[in-house]
């Protein structure tokens, strides 16, 4: 239980993978008491979701046999004492287990029941399996990412799972929580990755509707089509990122790279973009990444070195803000965003299944913990 702005908020997380656990981690980083409900079999089988799974940091875990009547009752009793419940199963699974929205809201009408799926609770694909790459493909976002002469490029699973999924689940849950506290009634939040990813692209859809964006990749201002919004290889095989969009920043970029604007095609002359790109590429190949970094950073040229994940954790610009603090023996991303009066915090220790089963029930006033353990409804690691 943290000291951040969500201190006093209790969240029940039905254990899953990917965007659900990350959303719960972010809530824990911001001070919420997140109780992760793991399967009892995860303890018996020796499964370890802790270790370096940082999305399980800052939580407590209770192991429950969700298929038993007594285990189901434990979940419902937890829901009675909580503000939020998060689940990421296929639609209908929690209903069949007897811990669906109707079951939980009957016990706690103020509960916010957050549901994380790829395709949504309803629709022709709602029962189909899927992953990030498919979700972003069907929204049009994947088609737009990549170079003009190549295939779509997969942006890891950050765009769908975590931006279109986790972040929208969090926005929905916190919005519903505010409304519940004002009106006394909870509700169900249906967070689908396809919905969130589509919503993220609103800005680009505006460009498309306005006729200033082509519905093909690698030819537009922000998708490597423009030579002043791209990455360039340096003499040591590394890269610099250039984002000099505004005219004053573009002028500073040209000054620092050592090119005169009078000898170049105009910035927004699309016919001249190939020539511009060739000139920029040739100049960047004359120095190493670190040499260019000393020239460009800091400046208003909007140029930065492309760092690996390992380099980023140790880079002085990030260490100055403690972006990747040393937590539990590893460099981990710090809680974000930052608050002036109630900062979020985390010990960085990932929870292990069932590690706090007895302590959680004791803290919440359960008087039959030992009986539940003997019956196998719950398991203590």
pLDDT digits (tens, 9 = 90+) for 368-380: 999 999 999 999 9
At 323-378, the pLDDT tens digits run: 999 999 999 999 999 999 999 999 999 999 999 999 999 999 999 999 999 999 99
Instruction: Report pLDDT for 346.
Output: 95
Q: Say which residues have a Cβ less than 8 Å from residue 133's Cβ, sequence separation at least 6.
A: 142, 154, 157, 160
- Taking alpha carbons only, the member of 299, 300, 327, 295 closest to residue 313 is 327
State whether 372 and 291 are in the same domain: no
Instruction: Report pLDDT for 262.
Output: 81
Instruction: Report pLDDT for 293.
Output: 97
State whether 300 and 359 are in the same domain: no
Contact 311, 254 (CB under 8 A): no
- Taking alpha carbons only, the member of 28, 125, 151, 152 closest to residue 86 is 28
| pTM of the full structure | 0.94
State whether 95 and 144 are in the same domain: yes
What is the Cα–Cα distance from 287 to 272, expressed in whole angstroms?
24
Q: What mean pLDDT comes out for the span 269-284?
A: 97
Q: Which residue among 306, 335, 360 closes a domain? A: 306
Catalytic entry in 45, 102, 131, 362: 131
Residue 313 included in any domain: no
Q: Which residue among 251, 277, 306 closes a domain? A: 306
Q: Say which residues have a Cβ less than 8 Å from residue 369's Cβ, sequence separation at least 6.
A: 358, 361, 362, 378
Instruction: Report pLDDT for 231.
Output: 98
**How would residue 47 be classed by pLDDT, with cut points 50, 70 and 90?**
low
Domain count, the chain: 2
State whether 16 and 110 are in the same domain: yes
Residue 182 included in any domain: yes
State whether 127 and 242 are in the same domain: no
Phi-psi region of 224 (alpha: psi -120 to 50; beta: other; left: phi over 0): left
Residue 318 included in any domain: no
State whether 135 and 52 are in the same domain: yes
- The CATH number of whichever domain residue 236 belongs to comes to 3.30.1540.10
State whether 293 and 158 are in the same domain: no
State whether 137 and 22 are in the same domain: yes
- The CATH number of whichever domain residue 53 belongs to comes to 3.40.50.10540
Residue 77 included in any domain: yes
Residue 331 included in any domain: no
Contact 169, 176 (CB under 8 A): no
State whether 85 and 16 are in the same domain: yes
Residue 320 included in any domain: no
195 is catalytic: no
> SS3 sequence, 233-292?
ECCCCCEEEEECCCHHHHHHHHHHHCCCHHHCCCCCCHHHHHHHHHHHHHHHCCCCHHHH
Instruction: Report pLDDT for 263.
Output: 85
Q: What mean pLDDT comes out for the span 96-121?
A: 98
How remote is the C-alpha of 228 from its chain's centroid?
Answer: 28
In the chain, the N- to C-terminal Cα span, in Å, equals 20
What is the Cα–Cα distance from 180 to 83, expressed in whole angstroms?
9
**How would residue 41 be classed by pLDDT, with cut points 50, 70 and 90?**
confident
Q: Which residue among 252, 271, 306 closes a domain? A: 306
Catalytic entry in 29, 33, 38, 161: 161
Residue 236 included in any domain: yes
What is the Cα–Cα distance from 16 to 97, expressed in whole angstroms?
15
Contact 146, 152 (CB under 8 A): yes
Instruction: Report pLDDT for 48.
Output: 52
Phi-psi region of 58 (alpha: psi -120 to 50; beta: other; left: phi over 0): left
Q: What is the chain's length?
A: 381
State whether 30 and 170 are in the same domain: yes
Residue 201 half-sphere exposure, CB side, CA atoms within 13 Å? 22
Q: How many CB atoms lie within 10 A of CB 202?
A: 8
What is the Cα–Cα distance from 20 to 128, expressed in whole angstroms?
18
131 is catalytic: yes
Q: What mean pLDDT comes out for the span 306-314?
A: 97
State whether 171 and 242 are in the same domain: no
Per the structure, the complete domain to which residue 244 belongs is given by 229-306
The answer on pLDDT for 208 being more than 90 is: yes
Residue 248 included in any domain: yes
Residue 224 corresponds to which tokens in the numbers above?
Answer: 């490597």
What is the Cα–Cα distance from 367 to 372, expressed in whole angstroms?
10
What angle (nearest 5°) sits at the alpha carbon of residue 271, between those of residues 266 and 273?
65
State whether 191 and 296 are in the same domain: no
């Amino acid at each position: 239980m943290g000291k951040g702005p969500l201190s006093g908020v209790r969240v029940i997380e039905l254990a899953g993978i990917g965007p659900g656990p990350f959303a719960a981690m972010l809530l824990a980083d911001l001070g919420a008491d997140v109780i992760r409900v793991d399967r009892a079999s995860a303890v018996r089988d020796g499964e370890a979701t802790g270790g370096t799974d940082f999305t399980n940091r800052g939580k407590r875990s209770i192991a429950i046999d969700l298929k038993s009547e007594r285990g189901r009752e434990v979940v419902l009793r937890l829901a009675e004492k909580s503000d939020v419940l998060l689940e990421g199963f296929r639609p209908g699974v929690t209903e069949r287990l007897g811990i669906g929205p109707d079951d939980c809201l009957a016990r706690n009408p103020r509960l916010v029941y957050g549901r994380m799926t790829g395709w949504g609770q309803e629709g022709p694909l709602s029962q189909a399996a899927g992953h990030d790459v498919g979700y972003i493909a069907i929204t049009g976002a994947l088609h737009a990412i990549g170079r003009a002469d190549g295939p779509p490029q997969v942006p890891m699973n950050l765009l769908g799972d975590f931006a279109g999924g986790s972040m929208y689940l969090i926005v929905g849950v916190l919005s519903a929580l505010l409304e519940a506290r004002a009106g006394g009634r909870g509700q169900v939040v249906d967070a689908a990755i396809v919905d969130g990813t589509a919503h993220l692209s609103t800005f680009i859809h505006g460009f498309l509707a306005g006729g200033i964006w082509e519905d093909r990749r690698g030819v537009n201002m922000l998708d490597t089509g423009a030579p002043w919004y791209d990455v360039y290889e340096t003499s040591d095989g590394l890269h610099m990122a250039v984002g000099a969009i505004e005219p004053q920043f573009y002028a500073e970029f040209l000054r620092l790279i050592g090119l005169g604007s009078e000898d170049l095609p105009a910035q927004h002359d699309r016919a001249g973009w190939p020539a511009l790109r060739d000139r920029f590429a040739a100049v960047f190949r004359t120095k190493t990444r670190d040499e260019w970094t000393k020239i460009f950073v800091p400046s208003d040229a909007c140029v930065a070195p492309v760092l690996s994940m390992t380099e980023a954790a140790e880079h002085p610009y990030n260490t100055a803000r403690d972006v990747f603090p040393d937590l539990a023996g590893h460099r981990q991303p710090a809680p974000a965003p930052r608050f002036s009066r109630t900062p979020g915090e985390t010990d960085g220790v990932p929870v292990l299944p069932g590690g706090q089963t007895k302590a959680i029930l004791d803290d919440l006033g359960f008087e039959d913990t030992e009986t539940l353990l003997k019956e196998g409804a719950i398991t203590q690691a």
